[in-house]
Chains A and B, each alone.
Chain A
Amino acid sequence: MARRYYVCPVVTELQADGSTYVYAKVAHYVGQIKGYVAHIPSDPSTGLPLRNWALVCVEADDHSLLLADAAFEALPWKDALDDALTLPQAAKDKLAARGIDLSGITTMRQLVRAIGQRLHASFDERAFGVSS
């Protein structure tokens, strides 16, 4: 079992009963992965997602389906959050385009925190995970 982090689209669906249902696109792969958690902060007045993308943490034996899905931006694979990180320029460009401040980031933990806090300032990576 391996854990990886991704940035993926948030889907907002109008249901037949008139209600609105929101999920990260990784939910399409439930049944093929062990589990996931998505950070999708909501507008407190409307309940709608604040952004159209989410940070997700996925546990799976095999990540090839997600890695093959062009809608997913995989973050570099690391054994541990505190491992040193060198981001490829292409990944830097994509994250910067989302308004994520990458200055001074040297570990996976700092990157995950920066992405999560771009979604909502209170994000804490220590409270964000799923069991294998």
Chain B
Amino acid sequence: MALLAQDTFTVGVDTVLESHTPDIGTGWSVETAAKLTCDAAGDYCYANQANNTRHWGREGTSIGADAMDVTVDILVNNVNNNRFCGPAGRMTTANWGNQYNAEAQGGGIGGNVQLTYFLFKAVSSVRTQLGSWADTSTNNGASTHTVKLEIRTAAKKVFVDGIERISSADDSLAGNHYAGLTGQRLEAQMDNFKSESVNDPLPSKILESSLLQLNRMSEAAVGA
């Protein structure tokens, strides 16, 4: 596991994401200029628009492989389901229409905000909802949660506060090695972005390694 990019969105004055330098990493690109902002008072990132348009940001450090973990702390203390945000992975620098993303979406009723988490993929700009998981604990939207999008060849998983909630067997977008985030509307806040590379051994490599070990054990036994 290697940490390749990290951002606490700590700024002295409100700064648009594309002008902000991450704590670790190359820098941010955005789909639409000046729509994602780092907030100086709260040190978080959010979509600075009061309309229902999703905004994307992509960190410029290549993960160097298909497998990656992308993590963001989210706070969506709002009952409306048009407020959402979360991490994205297997992004490409060529366009904004190909990626996996996880997101926390507002919901519930006043005084009892209950979030629902989703897993999506977009291929050639066609967006597909792959799954959801509802947190039904009381007023869970009032506190910050860590959302991790874990991308491996065999599975795309959404973890909430360290617990696996959604696992998809989908495998698309090989060769896309960038990570980022997405958000819609002011009330969906993101903090502590991290992108990490991981080892994702192919089954053939595991088999090769096991056979090699068996061979060595066999040779040792013969030698004994």
A residues adjacent to B (C-beta < 8 A): 19-24, 27, 30-31, 33-49, 116, 122-125, 127-131
Contact = CB atoms under 8 A, between A and B. Distances in A.
- Residue among B166, B170, B171 with the highest chain A CB neighbour number at 10 A: B170
A39 B163 contact: no
B129 A27 contact: yes
Contacts of A30: 116, 132, 134
B124 interface: yes
Given A42-B123, A127-B154, 7 more contacts: A19-B126, A38-B130, A47-B125, A122-B171, A124-B154, A127-B168, A130-B165
Interface in B119-151: 119, 121-134, 136
Interface of B: 97, 107, 116, 119, 121-134, 136, 154-155, 163-172
B203 to A, nearest CB: 10
Contacts of B129: 21-24, 27, 38
A127 to B, nearest CB: 4
Contacts of B123: 42-44, 47
A37 B123 CA distance: 18
Of all A-B residue pairs in the complex, the 5 with the closest CB atoms, nearest first, are A47-B126, A47-B124, A127-B155, A37-B131, A35-B133
B132 A27 contact: yes
A40 B130 contact: yes
Given A22-B129, A130-B133, A131-B133, A39 B124 contact: no
B137 to A, nearest CB: 12
B183 to A, nearest CB: 18
A35 B128 contact: no
Contacts of B136: 34
B128 A34 contact: no
12 contacts: A19-B126, A23-B129, A27-B132, A37-B166, A38-B131, A39-B168, A40-B128, A41-B172, A42-B172, A47-B122, A116-B169, A130-B132
B126 A42 contact: yes
A20 B164 contact: no
Nearest to A55: B169
A39 B166 CA distance: 12
Nearest to A127: B155
